[in-house]
Chains A and B, each alone.
Chain A
Amino acid sequence: MSATLLEVADLRVRLRTPRGPAEVVNGLSYTVGRGETVAVVGESGSGKSVSVLALLGLLPARLATVTGSARLDGEDLLTMSPERLRQVRGPGVGMVFQDPMTSLNPVLTIGRQLVEGIRAHGEVSKAAARERAAGLLAEVGLPDPRRALDRYPHELSGGMRQRVVIAIALANNPSLLIADEATTALDVTVQAQILDLVAGLQSEHGTGVIWITHDLGVVAGIADRVLVMYGGRCVEDGTVDDVLERPAHPYTRGLLGALPDLASSDDGELATVPGVPPAPTDLPPGCVFWPRCPVRSDPRCATEQPPLAVVGASDGALPHRAATWCEEGSPR
């Protein structure tokens, strides 16, 4: 596709919890190219958020053990010193989390928070930083950006706040943008504006994007590549067309089947995935999806974790892989 920006290899995260050690991420490997959007999908508890927090050194060291490697422009984020990580993370990586109210400081003006981000990583005068801040707010489509600089987070609507958070994330033209359920709390019309905005910035600056979401509709619109997580593992990956149009893993099929379809008037029962995702403190032996799998049949299902293996022919440049023992799966 394009030159590799981020290369994650065999990422594992184990957390200490009151209920014993939790294997939250179990051997995750993927790459993000320049200008590429990789969508990480999965339900709550699948390890998708923890996997990116681990990349950025944002998990409490006391509780988390992180192994593997994550090379951003060749430098391993997991082994670098905290100072170096700060230098790399600030200007190199932008982050947007789900709830904009918790990522903004309620007692500082929007302008102050933006200016702080801009000046922390570059030799910029205060006035120039303020100028740039106003420009950023205009870029993310905030009405009346100059006035917005002097406002406090509570004075803005949820959609406006999220746009401010995105402006902060983009302040230093990061080479990598990580968005964790960034538009989940927003209305669809605002979500559409923000997705457009990110796509525009991406084509302009060649930003690589990791978009974490459970919304497969959003994924269909923005992703080049999709990684489906379940029980801390990648259970399927490939191009967005391969994964969403020709899902190979029973879990991916279940997720897609469970979605009500806006385009169709078929209103029979929705397919469901019975049961609930496993707790990371209590992962099943064998295939991680086995206890909920509607098509389990192979004797290995209950005893052996299937490796990610190429399934079928892909029309993309990327292999389409799934971690399942079932050949071709069941008809869908």
Chain B
Amino acid sequence: MTDLPQGPTAHAAGAPAPEVPTSDVLVSARGLEVHFPIRSGGALRRTTGVLRAVDGVDLDIHRGETLGLVGESGCGKSTLGNALLRLVEPTGGTVTFDGTDVTALDRRAMRALRRRAGMVFQDPFASLDPRRTVRQTVSEPLEVHGLRSGRQERAERVAELLELVGLDPAVAERYPHEFSGGQRQRVGIARALAGEPDFLVCDEAIASLDVSVQAQVLNLLRRLQRRLGLTLLFISHDLSAVRHVSDRIAVMYLGRVVEVGPAAAVGSAPEMPYTQALLSAVPVPHPSLERARQRIVLRGDVPSPAAVPSGCRFRTRCPYAFEPCPDVDPALQPVGAPGQLAACHLHGVVGRPAGREDAAAG
């Protein structure tokens, strides 16, 4: 049911695994839900349905690891990242951050906790205020959290942060438009690191960058993680990049984590049919491999998160769907490699019967 039984193998895939006990969970979601009401356009704005952006997610993020979160557009991966930091309010379930139930905190306590969690956004042009200098942008979190008192101290910290992300501290008085995309993303990362966070959510942080610059930013993130002991949630639709940076990978489909496990296992031997199809569609830059490859082409489009299929939510497109799929909502269960979990009846029918409205796992 949960993603707890990880044991010491959780980091098996990660190259040099950080020197921390792997059972140490920093961020944990249980039965996490973010449902948005769908309102009619009329004057009365009646609620006509529910959009299940995140719909019963169980997920643990271990201290010091990079967890890659993949899935197609609309699967709820960004909403999940936001919900973990309560940037959107969860409508059900819990989020625990370092032992504290985040969902129960008041605003003031939440603000204190946010210092420990940073966020790097997709579009570094849109996420930086064009009228503020790099120094103003990077020092804002310091002011908000009262981290460095004097102006001088803050300036020193900004210089330190800029150096950390590979920028010349002399650029502090420049404006975002004076930078290239890659440099802007470095500024975004510097800002996210200002509060000395333990946890960093990177939401499509490299999606808008050119290939050669993507590599620079990926390398930077890995170096920073090792140096600062960060825990990273790396949200991306780019499976190759996720495979490269992640210790473990979680796959989302229609608001639910449907497979999670060590990066090598999920990336090379996925057990959930959706993960298999997703991976088979990723083109690789080797003509001989591409010509030989067999793609699993899925039928139809992803169902609307306002009309989630009963039972297994992937069954409408699954090439292996069989009797229990419409009736039982599959739970994550151990499959394949140690630490690998998949929600699929092919590995034994485990889960709760469908039919109950609002079936929340957890």
Contacts and interface: CB of A to CB of B under 8 A. Distances in A.
B297 A188 contact: no
A275 B284 CA distance: 25
A190 B212 CA distance: 25
Q: Interface centre among A44, A257, A277, by most B CB within 10 Å? A: A44
A189 B283 contact: no
A219 B288 CA distance: 12
Interface string B85-120: 000000000000000000000000000000000000
Contacts of A220: 283-287, 289-290
A215 interface: yes
A258 B295 contact: no
A320 interface: no
A221 B293 CA distance: 9
B287 A261 contact: no
A258 B214 contact: yes
Contact of B210 (A43, A189, A223, A268): A43
A221 B288 CA distance: 9
Contacts of B239: 188, 262
Interface string B241-265: 1011100000000000000000110
B155 interface: no
Contacts of B241: 260
A160 B301 contact: yes
A281 interface: no
B264 A265 contact: yes
Contact of A158 (B73, B243, B285): B73
A263 B289 contact: yes
B285 A260 contact: no
Nearest to A217: B283
A191 interface: yes
A216 interface: yes
B248 to A, nearest CB: 12
Q: Interface centre among B214, B277, B301, by most A CB within 10 Å? A: B301
Contacts of A53: none
A273 B216 CA distance: 8
Contacts of B240: 217, 259-262
A258 B74 CA distance: 28
Interface stretch (A60-68, A166-174, A237-245): A237-245
Nearest to A275: B212
A270 B218 contact: yes
Contacts of B279: 262
A191 B280 CA distance: 12
A309 interface: no
B106 to A, nearest CB: 39
B281 A192 contact: yes
Interface in A257-286: 257-263, 265, 267-274, 276-277
Nearest to B304: A157
Contacts of A261: 240, 244, 284
B212 A262 contact: no
Nearest to B73: A187
A157 B287 contact: no
B245 A259 contact: no
Contacts of B295: 192, 196
B298 A260 contact: no
B301 A159 contact: yes
B361 to A, nearest CB: 25
A218 interface: yes
Nearest to A240: B287
A57 interface: no
Contact of A268 (B15, B268, B289): B15
A266 to B, nearest CB: 9
Contact of B287 (A215, A245, A257): A245
A217 B285 contact: yes
A30 to B, nearest CB: 19
Contacts of B212: 43, 254-255, 258, 272-273
A164 B300 CA distance: 15
10 contacts: A44-B210, A187-B72, A188-B237, A193-B297, A217-B282, A221-B291, A260-B218, A270-B218, A270-B219, A270-B244
The 9 closest A-B pairs by CB, nearest first: A217-B283, A260-B244, A258-B215, A273-B212, A216-B285, A43-B210, A187-B72, A270-B215, A221-B290
Interface of B: 13-15, 72-74, 180, 182, 210-216, 218-219, 222, 237, 239-241, 243-245, 263-264, 267-268, 277-291, 293, 295, 297-298, 300-301
